[in-house]
Amino acid sequence: MHVPDGFFNAAVSIAAGAFAAAGLGVCLRRARRELDDRTAPMAGLVAAFIFAVQMLNFPVAAGTSGHLLGGTLAAVLVGPYTAVLCVAVVLLVQGFFFADGGLTALGVNITLMAIVTAAVGWFVFRLVVRLAPRARAAIPVAAFLGAVVSVPAAALVFTVLFWIGGTAPIDISSVALAMGGVHVLIGLGEGLITALTVSSVLAVRPDLVYGARGLTAPLVLRTAGGDTFVAPEPPPAPARSIRPLLVGGAVVAVLLAGVVSFYASSSPDGLEKVAGDKGLNAQERGHALGGSPLADYGVKGVGDERLAVGVAGVAGVGITVLAGGAVFYTVRRRARQPAKAGA
């Protein structure tokens, strides 16, 4: 999956490079909080581990084999920020020393394979751990789901970048289909081996698994006078507010929806195009919401077409965020209620 030089145009390469540099900057500061002055030696050794594990080929299906990307595995084992740093260093070393992956494509590679896989994998992992019962058995399951989702997510981001600035004239829907199909398979393999690896580390050294912190059972001191429970130390990283992340994400989403769709071409997207070419939409009936104010991504009553599309994009993001937030809120309340009932 290492993207070479010349695969993306200069604009996308530079934008992805800026994004990767900013992401690494954040991770450098946060990783120091995760590991303090042990950062360099520990992250260096874990990076060497990831480099080695990426060489471990595993059989996928009928004669083909894949190798691990390792983003989610590293995130579960050593924490998300350190994981991004480790995978990024692996990619830098591969680019500069092994000529694997183009130097101008380093930004794209780091964004896809370090930031997206670790962030998505860690997010899904945390979500599952939070919803599942507090048990050690939940950790490998959550790691499996995180890894399974993270690989197609990286493929999806690749497809989006390719749509914006790819140099090859392939229909975007066939790219999405090919990348998606292959990477769902790779993701399953990645998920299996991630879960099995995490569970084997968990069996031997549960204290090393970052994602299983807080699952330590309280220490029981059995004395003649009765049992005393010593609560385990709370995880050192204080629970931080996720508000900055939410606000930043919202700003980026609104900017993308408004500005990018403002400039996006009005040519039909891949699926619509295929549908049109093959005559699929001959029998297509009007969408049930065809008459709604946002139909076909344009706002009625706004004269300028581009402006209208931009406004529709922003409104679409708003509705998506509201709907997603509502779902998340209900899920969280469900998850909290049994906890309260138990307390």
Q: Among 18, 22, 38, 249, which residue interacts with another protein (rule: CB under 8 A)?
A: 38
Q: Among 16, 31, 110, 151, which residue interacts with another protein (rule: CB under 8 A)?
A: 31
In the region spanning residues 1 to 20, those forming contacts with another protein, defined by CB under 8 A, are 4-7, 9-10, 13
CB of 203 to another protein, least distance (A): 8
Question: Judging by beta carbons within 10 Å of its beta carbon (0-12, 13-18, 19+), is residue 32 exposed, middle or buried?
Answer: middle
Please check whether residue 253 is in contact with residue 317, taking contact to mean a CB–CB distance below 8 angstroms.
yes
CB of 191 to another protein, least distance (A): 11
CB of 340 to another protein, least distance (A): 37
The SS3 of residue 133 is coil
CB of 187 to another protein, least distance (A): 14
In the region spanning residues 40 to 69, those forming contacts with another protein, defined by CB under 8 A, are 40-49, 51-53, 55-61, 65, 68
Nearest alpha-carbon partner for 77 in 42, 104, 115, 113 = 42
Assess 260 for contact with another protein (CB under 8 A): no
Cβ count near 82 (within 10 Å): 25
Assess 160 for contact with another protein (CB under 8 A): no
Please check whether residue 177 is in contact with residue 159, taking contact to mean a CB–CB distance below 8 angstroms.
no
Of 46 and 311, nearer to another protein (C-beta) is 46
Sequence letter at residue 98: F
In the region spanning residues 88 to 117, those forming contacts with another protein, defined by CB under 8 A, are 88-90, 92-93, 95-100, 102-104
CB of 139 to another protein, least distance (A): 13
- Going from the C-alpha of 236 to that of each of 46, 82, 118, 205, the distances in angstroms are 21, 15, 21, 19
Of 45 and 221, nearer to another protein (C-beta) is 45
Two tokens, residue 157: 């981001």
| Cα separation, 124 vs 186, whole angstroms | 17
Sequence letter at residue 313: G
Q: At 334, which helix (H) or strand (E)? A: helix 305-342
Of 167 and 281, nearer to another protein (C-beta) is 167
CB of 261 to another protein, least distance (A): 23
Cβ count near 118 (within 10 Å): 32
Of 97 and 263, nearer to another protein (C-beta) is 97
Report residue 174 CA to chain centroid gap.
Answer: 22
Sequence letter at residue 222: R
Q: Which residues contact 253 (CB under 8 A, 6 or more apart)?
A: 317, 321
Of 53 and 321, nearer to another protein (C-beta) is 53
Of 92 and 153, nearer to another protein (C-beta) is 92
In the region spanning residues 178 to 217, those forming contacts with another protein, defined by CB under 8 A, are 189, 192-193, 195-201, 204-205, 208
Of 149 and 209, nearer to another protein (C-beta) is 209
In the region spanning residues 264 to 303, those forming contacts with another protein, defined by CB under 8 A, are none
Assess 174 for contact with another protein (CB under 8 A): yes
Two tokens, residue 114: 């370090």
DSSP tag of 232: P
CB of 10 to another protein, least distance (A): 5
